[in-house]
Amino acid sequence: MAIQSIIPYLILGGRADDALAFYHEALGAEVSALTRFGDMDDSCPTAMRERVMHAELQLGAARIMLSDGPMESPPAGGTVSVAIGFDDPNQIRRGFDRLAIGGMIVQPLFDSPWGTLFGVVVDQFGVSWMLDCPKA
C-alpha cells in the first residue's frame, strides 16, 4: 500500500471565491470540483451556507485544492496545508499518529460525510497535514 497523492490545499479564510476567479484569470485554472458548506449540511448557519467547503482547480496535469475554512481568518498554521491521499486505513492512522507527536490534532480522524477517513494535524514544525483515505 502506498501514498496515492500529495496536493497543496489552500485555506483562505472567506476568500475562496475570489481565489477561484483569480487563479482562473492568472493561470488558466479550471474549477473541477466545488462544494459549499450548505451542500453538505442543511443545518449549518446561514452565514456559512455559501462559503466554499472544498474546491479543486485543474492546472494541466496538476491540481490545487482550496477552501474558505470554517473561520473568517486563515488558520494559525498558515494558509497552505499538504493534503495526502492514502489507500490503506492502517497507513493513514500510523501517519496521523506520528505526525501528531509534538504537534497538534486539529481534526481527529473520522468517517467524513464525503465517504473517506479524514483528519487534520499540525506537526511539530508547524506544517498542516490533511490526511484522507477511502473507508475500508
Predicted TM-score (pTM) of the model is 0.73
Please say if the pLDDT value at position 5 is more than 90.
no
pLDDT value of residue 39: 93
Please say if the pLDDT value at position 72 is more than 80.
no
**pLDDT band, very low/low/confident/very high, at 74 (cuts 50, 70, 90):** low
What single string gives the DSSP state of each residue in 47-113? Answer: GGTTSEEEEEEEETTEEEEEE--SSSS--TT-SEEEEEEES-HHHHHHHHHHHHTTSEEEEEEEE-T
Average pLDDT in the 45-71 region? 90
Our measurement of the distance from residue 121's CA atom to the centroid of its chain's CA atoms, rounded to an integer in Å, reads: 11
Residues written for the chain: 136
pLDDT value of residue 18: 92
**pLDDT band, very low/low/confident/very high, at 73 (cuts 50, 70, 90):** low
Please say if the pLDDT value at position 1 is more than 80.
no
Average pLDDT in the 34-38 region? 95
Percentages helix, strand, coil for the chain (3-state, rounded to 5) are 25, 45, 35
Closest CA to 1 of 87, 81, 113, 62: 87
**Domains, in order of start, for the chain:** 8-74 (3.10.180.10), 84-136 (3.30.720.110)
Q: Between 20 and 76, whose confidence is greater?
A: 20
Proportion of the chain above pLDDT 70, given as a percent: 93
Please say if the pLDDT value at position 4 is more than 70.
yes
Please say if the pLDDT value at position 96 is more than 90.
yes
Average pLDDT in the 34-56 region? 91
